[in-house]
Amino acid sequence: MSEDNETGTSADLTELAKRRGFFTQSAGAYGGVSGFYTFGPQGASLKDNIENSWRDRFTLQEGNMEIDAPTVMPEPVFEASGHLDGFDDMLVECPSCGESHRADHIVEDNTEYEEAEGLGPDRVGQIIEEYELVCPTCGTGLGGRAIEDFSLMFETNIGPGSSSSGYLRPETAQGIFVEFPQLKEYARNRLPFGVTQIGRAYRNEISPRKSLLRVREFTQAELELFVDPEDGDGPDLDSVADVVAPFYGVEQQEAEDGEPLEITVGEAHERGLVADPWIAYYLGAGAEWYRSIGVDMDRFRFRQHLSGERAHYAADCWDAEADVSGPGVEPDWIELAGFAYRSDYDLSKHDEYSDEDYTVFRQYDEPVTVERPTVDPDMSALGPAFGGAAGDVADALAELAAEDPEAFREARSASDRSSGDGEKPRDGDAGEDGSVVVDVDGESYEVPVEQTGFAVEEVTESGEHIVPHVVEPSLGIDRALYTVLDHCYREDEVDGEERTFLELPAEVAPTTVGVFPLMDRDGLSERAQEVAADLREQGLSVAYDDSGAIGRRYRRQDEVGTPFCVTVDYATIGEAEDDSEGEPSEAQSASEPSSGEQPREGTVTVRERDTTAQKRIATEDLPETLVALRDGDAAFSEM
């Protein structure tokens, strides 16, 4: 569903987003560039509010740290993380028009296969041939065309020339993982601890589509929680145990008529459906958060990854998904977030590739005495024997002693033994005349056991170094924003006129309150501007508007989701109302209380967006009242 062929609610939403300043394709003056979007005044404010809401829930309330890492990182980072070798999509090129397309998307859009990405290039190619699928651009058949891997990484050079390669980060997580050696010091080496980051990420998508849903530049909000896998102390699961959400597990997906289970987080964990307590906790917290920003929970679910989708290092992974289809059509489920148990994969990789220590010291309850194999190589013998490789041989002996001390014991008792079959001894084998064999860069070296200085010592230890495991809730801010707009889009009728409005929660709405003078005369404008200034001083986002009929001003604020509007009228300034000019019926009521009584002097009308109901509020109480309404500490209906 590209912007060129959107229908129904999606097209209406995209038109509203452009017209009212939520988002639009970037560089439109130069024909636009696919996959990049500019957030206008309303969109930037809504995006900031969603980010701040996430930060409040997953950074501040959880007591986590937040960092802001660069968006460009050197090549070795992504070599260690595996992105250089495996961060690809399946590309198929049309032989006629030359357009490139995501092969798995063509399959998903035209067959019953919903998750073609996990099928692999060979199977996707077979499906394209079996179903005689064609190029979406020109209609040419794609059967038999090669399915190629296309790297999603944006490459760049760091500094002059091309000596130092770098990449735009495809996820914000690596910025956290790379800095772990310093972050663990900030956390005083105590597990668990969490680190969050909100920032831009980049993926060179083959065929960006669906407006904000598949782009080349996007904003991620990620939490990396570092845990001790053997620590029995888990999260406060009771705090989210009663949260109800739809859980679409592997069993339900594989059943012929499987449907998500509408159960509590606590029950999902007790059943073993969500086995890891940390994943269960964050699913509960995530459901509460998505509900708070305006996601319709009747169009929301948690879907467990099938075995073919899950990364090899992930013990379990769930996606938060939302339906963004229009009414009366097949659901269009999109991924909003991923909740993964990543084991120790990330930190182990950076520990292996870098010169830093990615472990944390785990303190034992009581000191323990253990036998510890050690080596103290005789370098005066290894140097002449192995030359420049002597140091590497000594390191290899230390690694072998830690991994296989029995090789040294056998060597001591094998002075009269040989390798037996005449084959070249392998790493760890006992060589001729009681030697130990180690491998360095593919070459075997035999070291007489007496030159290794092998010994087994009794050591009293107070703890050990471990590589923490990682629990990762990761979400796309742009997709959350689009989903909120889609789920909050409303159409109704007021005073015989059709109305479009966004039923956004006050917490995330771009503007909290619109302030209007009933008329642009008799000092009403000046007083309304004073009211707007007072509200801004209280930290409220305010839009001032004195242009056109007040009914139209209401409609403009309704379309951008402003939850409250304040009208300054003659009662506000203590004068009799001049009714020489008529106004629309809704505007007439702006100067009259809901009860039909005469408006009190020194009061303003507060109108609520969703019901269009209006109430009179004392001007002096207005800032406090609106702050309480925005924060959910008061209800408009109870005022």
Q: What is the pLDDT of residue 4?
A: 40
What are the tens digits of pLDDT across the range 533-559?
999 999 999 999 999 999 999 999 999
Q: With CA atoms as reference, report the closest residue to 525 among 540, 504, 508, 546.
A: 546
Alpha carbon dihedral 45, 50, 55, 56, in 10-degree steps, equals 100
Strand partners, 221: 198, 475
Strand partners, 369: 460
Across 493-513, average pLDDT: 95
**Percent residues over pLDDT 90 in the chain:** 74
What are the tens digits of pLDDT across the range 438-458?
999 989 999 999 999 999 988
Q: What is the pLDDT of residue 176?
A: 98
Single-letter residue type at 606: V
Q: What is the DSSP string of 121-134?
A: HHHHHHHHHHTT-B
Across 154-164, average pLDDT: 85
Compute φ and ψ for 20, nearest 5 degrees.
-100, 5
Q: Around Cβ 479, how many Cβ atoms within 10 Å?
A: 24
Long-range contacts of 214-218 (CB under 8 A, 24+ apart): 214/35, 215/35, 215/36, 215/37, 215/478, 216/34, 216/35, 216/36, 217/35, 217/36, 217/37, 218/476, 218/477, 218/478, 218/479
Report the SS3 class of residue 350: helix
Q: Which CATH class is domain 1-68+168-359+467-500?
A: alpha beta
Across 129-153, average pLDDT: 93
**pLDDT > 70? residue 563:** yes
**pLDDT > 90? residue 619:** yes
Both structure tokens of 288: 């509460």
What are the tens digits of pLDDT across the range 381-426?
999 999 999 999 999 999 999 899 999 988 887 754 554 444 444 4
Q: What is the pLDDT of residue 578?
A: 54
Q: What is the CATH number of domain 511-638?
A: 3.40.50.800
Rounded to 5°, the CA angle 522-526-529 comes to 145
Q: With CA atoms as reference, report the closest residue to 468 among 367, 362, 355.
A: 362
Q: What is the pLDDT of residue 140?
A: 94
In the chain, what are the domain boundaries? Answer: 1-68+168-359+467-500, 370-461, 511-638
Q: pTM value?
A: 0.84
Q: What is the pLDDT of residue 116?
A: 87
Alpha carbon dihedral 245, 250, 254, 260, in 10-degree steps, equals 0
Across 425-437, average pLDDT: 62
Q: With CA atoms as reference, report the closest residue to 375 among 474, 447, 273.
A: 447
Q: Which DSSP letter does residue 56 get?
A: I
Single-letter residue type at 189: N
What are the tens digits of pLDDT across the range 17-38?
999 999 999 999 999 999 999 9
What are the tens digits of pLDDT across the range 506-528?
999 999 999 999 998 899 999 99
Confirm whether 1-68+168-359+467-500 and 511-638 share one CATH topology: no
Phi-psi group of 462: left, alpha or beta (phi > 0 → left; psi -120 to 50 → alpha; rest → beta): alpha
Spacing of C-alpha 589 from chain mean position: 45
Single-letter residue type at 160: P
Where residue 596 falls among pLDDT bands split at 50, 70, 90? low
Q: What is the pLDDT of residue 452?
A: 94
- Residue that has been written with the tokens 């399915």 in this structure: 147
More confident residue, 168 or 639: 168
Q: What is the pLDDT of residue 9?
A: 64
**Percent residues over pLDDT 70 in the chain:** 92
Both structure tokens of 241: 């145990």
Where residue 625 falls among pLDDT bands split at 50, 70, 90? very high
What are the tens digits of pLDDT across the range 345-368?
999 999 999 999 999 999 888 899
Alpha carbon dihedral 407, 410, 416, 422, in 10-degree steps, equals -40
What are the tens digits of pLDDT across the range 54-99?
999 999 999 999 999 999 999 999 999 999 887 888 999 999 999 9
